[in-house]
Chain A
């Protein structure tokens, strides 16, 4: 690999890393054809982890970080003084193929600054994906960032080659978008998401290959004054209306050469963590947005307890729950019990009556679960009435940010 290409890679990987999405999941299982390259496993693979604890699954780069837009939160905005670079289509293809062959990556996540026009940019992104698929028989994972300002037919062509498409909402309200991302248009973003959601659904019904891993988006947390409740309600609406597969919450992180209208401070990582937990409660634990909202304090999720525990502490009258009798939905509400633990409980109790020791073997969260459940040999002594329950279960304050 020559030095010029290495230098570009450094700049354009650095420029892409603020996109939290890394998943390589959701594509149907595929094998390489004879002479081809690449496969997908369905679940996705993380090929490495960086010291920020995040997974490296895809080669996540920008085609270029030259950009005509001026979004205040973005390191690549046109008024930023960062170093700029631009890959050719062939350079991106070569890097993807060569990295892939060495088993460094699952595929490519390609995004770009807006150069010339949204259409021109979108066309370049599509060309990379098309070249990989057609010239190299590449069956690995491709995630393309969609430019919502591009013409609708281009947005739709991306789905022919990509496994996943994403359009970043970035800011949850129109007002914030207007203030911080003057070239972006909230309505256009949602129209494009809606258009994409419709096409993906239709293709699935017609058994055509079109973005089989669906679409996702990212929302930045902490760059504006939005509350957790409004973020969660926005997410619920996006999942519901546009069939999004995933919403990424990205704690606003200090960037080199930051704009003056944004806070320069450590990213609110614990808040981001709680938002993911709340998101999971809606997607896998049958919590409604109202349930999650009910676990917040003036719209914000607690930082010292997880949202499920916060909900349980507010709804103590619903507990304790009998592990041998309660239905699955209620077991899912018990703090400390994950989906897998609940499924194991439901399977095991058909053949045995579960004691507390048995439950201990099924979950690693027994300490949190104990006050909220009843087992064959155990009932909490009015633990749910204790005033200090929250303090006893809260996580000790933990420095998540630096070391």
Chain B
């Protein structure tokens, strides 16, 4: 030391991962050109033994470092190796001296070593998230459950590891104790405290025996591979993991269990073939419209919010079925199709076209109302193609039970539901064949389209709509489509 041309200096940092202290020191050392070899880094709060110590709380202007370097520093300071600060100082010094891309040169011996340190820290974090075990410790604040855990990390990772647990377990109080410090969550904030003791954590938990049973049962003795287990779950973790107590027994018994399985001759089944259950199993499909409707009624809406499913309405065997888009506000509240403004318009148009609404079947491609709440109003939202596809199974079954000779698609969504294709109504309007379907088809606009038109354009559009409905009535009366219903 004495022969060294430059004065040696010692820098004292807080115990653990003192990123702030290190940053403060580096902001002085690097611009001053102090060679890393002349600096000794010491961690701990003990009174200084070194007269030439530099206070680490004094800070200079920030150094501009590439993001990759800053990331590497933030990880490596958590490593327990006492050399970590010195190594990082060397890295930063070289970067500042012009090797701006140094952190990307993983083949460089210094960078390689720092990468290994970062990897060890990352692995330690991952293992803490994975292998820490909570035990129930009674009731915490405001009647919440309280849990505690003891863990021994290899590196100074507690502060970095803890937010994972508060994101995951916000609704009960917990404490994680380690030999270096502790973390506590009270439902609102994360707090760090002094080192804990293993004895402060309850000795057992009511679910540990069941968990160990699960662990033992999920092991397949025919695949025993201890090296693979130890590579991922080194023995040093075992004493804090209750399930590992089962390992010696599982390993001891594995050979015998496999041998028995292989040697044992197949046994004849004791039970008889459950012929009736097998026959009943095949009959799971809803066998009537009522049964199908029960399924639909019991199902959740694909997009949450609807009051209820709106089922189709009309007699089985109806000659014409009308398929709309989805229930609107009124339909959703009343639970019946086509009862809102568009429904009323449809009823009028049907009368004019000479179709008895009560003898037709009316339904929607999508069975639940989807809306956007704007104040007190619920604004209709068009179902997406994916949503229509989800609902099409029910529409298909429903129409199969009703057995109409003609299906009128009201609007593009109905066409999509019936054909699986997006087709503009202006192109598809008029008589249509729905591929593979036993009924004839006709495409027209949805009555709500007429409601949205400006007043001047509405009479003509309405007349066209009634004309389409008349055509539907004529089609269903044609002999080719069978006798009129």
A interface, CB within 8 angstroms of B: 1, 5-6, 9-11, 13-14, 16-18, 31-39, 41, 45-56, 59-61, 68, 78-81, 95, 98-99, 101-104, 114, 116-120, 130, 140, 150-153, 156-157, 160, 198-199, 202-203, 205-206, 208, 210, 251, 253-260, 264-267, 269, 344, 347-348, 350-352, 354, 358-359, 361-362, 400-403
Docked-complex contact A51 and B149, CB < 8 angstroms:
no
Check A199/B390 contact, CB under 8 A, given A49-B228, A81-B269, A401-B223.
yes
When distances are taken between beta carbons in the complex, the residues of chain B under 8 Å from A160 are 300, 302
Check A1/B207 contact, CB under 8 A, given A36-B170, A51-B250, A401-B223.
yes
Q: Dominant SS at the A interface? A: loop
Mark interface residues in B417-432 (1 if CB within 8 Å of A CB, else 0).
0000000000000000
Q: Dominant SS at the B interface? A: helix
A122 to B101, CA, bound (A): 55
Chain B residue nearest to A22 (CB atoms) is B218
A36 to B168, CA, bound (A): 9
Docked-complex contact B299 and A68, CB < 8 angstroms:
no
When distances are taken between beta carbons in the complex, the residues of chain A under 8 Å from B284 are 117-120, 150-151
Partner of B214, one of A13, A103, A119: A13
A260 to B132, CA, bound (A): 44
Docked-complex contact A102 and B135, CB < 8 angstroms:
yes
Partner of A269, one of B170, B223, B277, B387: B223
16 A-B residue pairs with CB within 8 Å: A31-B170, A32-B169, A34-B170, A37-B171, A68-B274, A68-B281, A99-B214, A116-B281, A153-B393, A156-B390, A199-B389, A206-B386, A254-B261, A257-B266, A348-B107, A400-B225
Docked-complex contact A350 and B281, CB < 8 angstroms:
no
The answer to the question of B130 belonging to the interface, with a C-beta cut-off of 8 Å to chain A, is: yes
When distances are taken between beta carbons in the complex, the residues of chain A under 8 Å from B126 are 45
When distances are taken between beta carbons in the complex, the residues of chain A under 8 Å from B285 are 151
The answer to the question of B6 belonging to the interface, with a C-beta cut-off of 8 Å to chain A, is: no
A48 to B131, CA, bound (A): 7
Docked-complex contact A13 and B218, CB < 8 angstroms:
yes
B interface, CB within 8 angstroms of A: 101-102, 104-109, 112, 126, 129-136, 145, 147, 149, 164-165, 167-172, 205-211, 213-229, 231-233, 241, 243-244, 247, 250-251, 254-255, 258, 261-262, 264, 266-267, 269-271, 273-274, 277-278, 280-281, 283-285, 295, 299-300, 302-303, 384-387, 389-390, 393-394
A1 to B241, CA, bound (A): 18
A206 to B385, CA, bound (A): 9
**Residue with the highest number of chain B CB atoms closer than 10 Å, among A46, A68, A103:** A103
Check A361/B101 contact, CB under 8 A, given A16-B218, A157-B299.
no
Docked-complex contact B211 and A99, CB < 8 angstroms:
yes
A54 to B385, CA, bound (A): 41
Docked-complex contact B107 and A47, CB < 8 angstroms:
no
Docked-complex contact A17 and B106, CB < 8 angstroms:
no
* 10 smallest beta-carbon distances between A and B, as pairs: A53-B228, A358-B107, A202-B386, A117-B284, A79-B269, A53-B225, A13-B217, A52-B223, A260-B266, A50-B219
Docked-complex contact A266 and B258, CB < 8 angstroms:
yes
Beyond the given A39-B167, A48-B244, please list 10 additional residue pairs across the A-B interface where CB-CB is below 8 A: A13-B214, A48-B131, A53-B229, A78-B273, A95-B210, A102-B134, A153-B295, A206-B385, A352-B105, A362-B107
Say how far A370's CB is from chain B's closest CB, in angstroms. 16
Docked-complex contact B255 and A348, CB < 8 angstroms:
no
Check A10/B167 contact, CB under 8 A, given A80-B269, A99-B211, A120-B284.
no
Partner of A350, one of B101, B232, B264, B303: B101
Docked-complex contact B105 and A101, CB < 8 angstroms:
no
Docked-complex contact B266 and A52, CB < 8 angstroms:
no
Say how far B78's CB is from chain A's closest CB, in angstroms. 19
When distances are taken between beta carbons in the complex, the residues of chain A under 8 Å from B390 are 153, 156, 199
When distances are taken between beta carbons in the complex, the residues of chain A under 8 Å from B149 are 103
**Residue with the highest number of chain A CB atoms closer than 10 Å, among B106, B108, B136:** B106
Partner of B215, one of A56, A140, A269: A56
When distances are taken between beta carbons in the complex, the residues of chain B under 8 Å from A53 are 223, 225-229, 231-232
Say how far B334's CB is from chain A's closest CB, in angstroms. 24
Docked-complex contact B295 and A37, CB < 8 angstroms:
no
A229 to B384, CA, bound (A): 41
Check A32/B168 contact, CB under 8 A, given A52-B220, A54-B223.
yes
Chain B residue nearest to A357 (CB atoms) is B107
Say how far A186's CB is from chain B's closest CB, in angstroms. 18
Docked-complex contact A39 and B168, CB < 8 angstroms:
yes
Check A49/B229 contact, CB under 8 A, given A34-B170, A37-B169.
yes
Docked-complex contact B224 and A361, CB < 8 angstroms:
no
When distances are taken between beta carbons in the complex, the residues of chain B under 8 Å from A264 are 261-262
Say how far B169's CB is from chain A's closest CB, in angstroms. 7
**Residue with the highest number of chain B CB atoms closer than 10 Å, among A17, A47, A119, A208:** A47
**Residue with the highest number of chain A CB atoms closer than 10 Å, among B136, B220, B302:** B220
Docked-complex contact B266 and A348, CB < 8 angstroms:
no
A59 to B210, CA, bound (A): 12
A245 to B67, CA, bound (A): 32
Check A116/B229 contact, CB under 8 A, given A1-B209, A46-B130, A199-B389.
no
**Residue with the highest number of chain A CB atoms closer than 10 Å, among B217, B285, B302:** B217
A202 to B145, CA, bound (A): 41
Docked-complex contact B106 and A104, CB < 8 angstroms:
no
When distances are taken between beta carbons in the complex, the residues of chain A under 8 Å from B209 are 1, 6
Check A253/B131 contact, CB under 8 A, given A344-B106, A361-B112.
no
Say how far B227's CB is from chain A's closest CB, in angstroms. 7
Check A52/B133 contact, CB under 8 A, given A14-B217, A362-B106.
no
When distances are taken between beta carbons in the complex, the residues of chain A under 8 Å from B267 are 81, 257
When distances are taken between beta carbons in the complex, the residues of chain B under 8 Å from A266 are 222, 258, 262
Say how far A83's CB is from chain B's closest CB, in angstroms. 12
Chain A residue nearest to B103 (CB atoms) is A347
When distances are taken between beta carbons in the complex, the residues of chain A under 8 Å from B303 are 208
When distances are taken between beta carbons in the complex, the residues of chain A under 8 Å from B385 are 202, 206
Check A118/B109 contact, CB under 8 A, given A32-B168, A51-B219, A52-B224.
no
Say how far B368's CB is from chain A's closest CB, in angstroms. 13
When distances are taken between beta carbons in the complex, the residues of chain A under 8 Å from B101 are 350-351
A63 to B392, CA, bound (A): 30
A348 to B107, CA, bound (A): 7
Docked-complex contact A208 and B130, CB < 8 angstroms:
no
**Residue with the highest number of chain A CB atoms closer than 10 Å, among B130, B209, B244, B280:** B130
